Amino acid sequence: MSQAEFTARIEADQCIVRKLVLLYARDEAERQDLMQESLLNAWKAWPAFRGEAKFSTWLYRICLNTILTQRRRDRPVDRVPDLERVAPKVDDRHVQDDRERLYTAIRTLPETDRALVGLHLEGFTNQEAAEVLGISANHFAVKLHRIKQRLSELLKPH
Amino acid sequence: MELQHAWNAPLPDDPALRAMLRTAQLQGNGPRDPLATLRKNLAINLAWAVIMGIAMLALLLSTPSLTVRLCLSVPVLFCVWSAWDTWKLRASIPIGISAENNVLHELKRHLSALRRWVQVGQRSGLLVYPFSAAGGFVLGGLAGSGGTVAELMTKPGMIWLLLISVVILTPLCWVVTRWMYRLAFGAQEEALRLRIAELEGE
């Protein structure tokens, strides 16, 4: 279990860390902080990784646990949906960056809802995602339905 | 917009991530790990309990008066108990993030550690503050009057003044401790509580 092996596996699954961090970071400095904290915790937990779970699931758990339990710099959290900013204007043909709009919309959700939708979009089944979060699959499905409705509302062209 | 399509869109290259992996920044403790901060605080508390205990034990052994020895033995025992309690709590708080625990479990573990810390602090405080208040009162009295403890305490009403000081200062110190805890960890506790409620709620 060398650092080289760890680095190679992180590089292979780097999108997991990067996408997850993008759901929480409010600026570039915080993005780098969260990424470093997550990688540091993953590195510390690496000796205990036995390969019983998929590396991607293991990494997701570490990153999510890090982001949701670590102390972050005190700054006002943007929890008020800003429809003007998120939704594209009908006549704006140049708005192509759907990904950026999606992240912006997700960042307006409560923090645990961001984790939930991130797990879903990352391709985890309801059962797998519910296990990562520690809730029932049924509860997960109900929440996901509500979040998808919220996102559709936020991203609807007006 | 197709959510999945937008999510799957490739991210641009991230030189920051590569730099982090390449420059051996994977060292040291997480600067924002609240449990690491708690353990550090507990280590400081432990060191103080040991230092105070040794100092009072030295004072106890150096004084010939049996009454004073009996009085000093109480805070010495308190220091031993406090050090033991702090050590036990510190040992029960593992730092680092677990990949075995789910998010809800990990949030509750962090919240529980924060609460236990403040409970131990407040419990210890309720025992130590009366002694501190009484000690401060007597020391202040001695400095002001220039007399002995016996002369000071035989003045009329002095016992009542001492008791009133203890009764007022003990809860005041307790409230200040609580306020300091809220200042240090209040926001973190609130954030953890909120996330747990979000996950458990419909």
Question: What is A78-106 written as a DSSP string?
Answer: --S--HHHHSPPTT-TT---HHHHHHHHH
Q: Of A119-133, B8-22, B123-137, where does the model show the most confidence?
A: A119-133
Mean pLDDT for chain A overall: 82
Least CB-CB distance to B97: which of A62, A101, A133? A62
Closest residue of chain B to A65, computed from CA coordinates: B103
- Contact check, Cβ <8 Å, A151/B3: yes
Question: Nearest by CB to A15, which of B11, B96, B202?
Answer: B11
CB within 8 Å: A62 and B99 = yes
Question: Is B115 or B196 the better-scoring residue by pLDDT?
Answer: B196
Contact B34 A71 (CB under 8 A): yes
CB atoms within 10 A of CB A146: 13
Q: Looking at CA atoms only, how far is residue B31 from chain A in angstroms?
A: 8
Q: Which two tokens stand for residue A65?
A: 């646990």
Are the Cβ atoms of B25 and A155 closer than 8 angstroms? no
Return the pLDDT at A77: 46
Give me the residues of A, 26-85, that contact B with CB < 8 A: 31-33, 35-37, 39-41, 43-45, 48-49, 53, 58, 61-62, 64-66, 68-72, 74
Name which of A10, A41, A64, A69 to mutate to probe chain B: the one with the most chain B Cβ atoms within 10 A of its Cβ: A69
Mean pLDDT (whole number) for A48-75: 83
Residue A137 has pLDDT above 70, yes or no: yes
pLDDT score of A7: 87
Mean pLDDT value across chain B: 81
More confidently predicted of B41 and A108: A108
Residue closest to A9 by CA, chosen among A52, A43, A48: A43
* Residue that wins the pLDDT comparison between B113 and A118: A118
Q: Specify the higher pLDDT residue, B146 or A19.
A: A19
Could you tell me which chain B residue has the CA closest to the CA of A69? B107
Q: Which chain B residues are within 8 Å of A139, Cβ to Cβ?
A: 202
Among B20, B31, B37, the residue with its CB nearest the CB of A39 is B20
Q: How far is CA A118 from the centre of its chain?
A: 5
Q: In Å, what is the CA distance from B117 to each residue of A149, B120, B162, B189?
A: 41, 5, 30, 12
Chain B residue numbers touching A66 (CB-CB < 8 A) = 30, 97
Count Cβ atoms below 10 Å from residue B146 Cβ, excluding itself.
9
ipTM above 0.85, yes or no: no
pLDDT, tens digit, 9 for 90 and up, residues B99-109:
788 999 999 98
Q: Are A144 and A116 in contact (CB under 8 A)?
A: yes
Check B34 against A69: CB less than 8 A apart: yes
| Sign, Cα dihedral of B128, B129, B135, B139 | positive
Residue A109 has pLDDT above 70, yes or no: yes
User: Is there a contact between B107 and A69 if contact means CB atoms under 8 Å apart?
Assistant: yes
Q: Do A39 and B107 touch (CB under 8 A)?
A: no
User: How close B100 gets to chain A, by Cα (Å)?
Assistant: 8
* Among candidates B4, B30, B103 on the partner chain, residue whose Cβ is nearest the Cβ of A121: B4
pLDDT at B53 (0 to 100):
84
The pLDDT-based confidence of A112 (bands split at 50, 70, 90) is very high
Residue A98 Cα, gap to closest chain B Cα (Å): 6
For residue B174, name the pLDDT band (cuts at 50, 70, 90). confident
> Which of A10, A66, A72 is the closest to B21 by Cβ?
A10
- State which residue of chain B sits closest to A21, comparing Cα positions: B17
d(CA A124, CA A110): 20
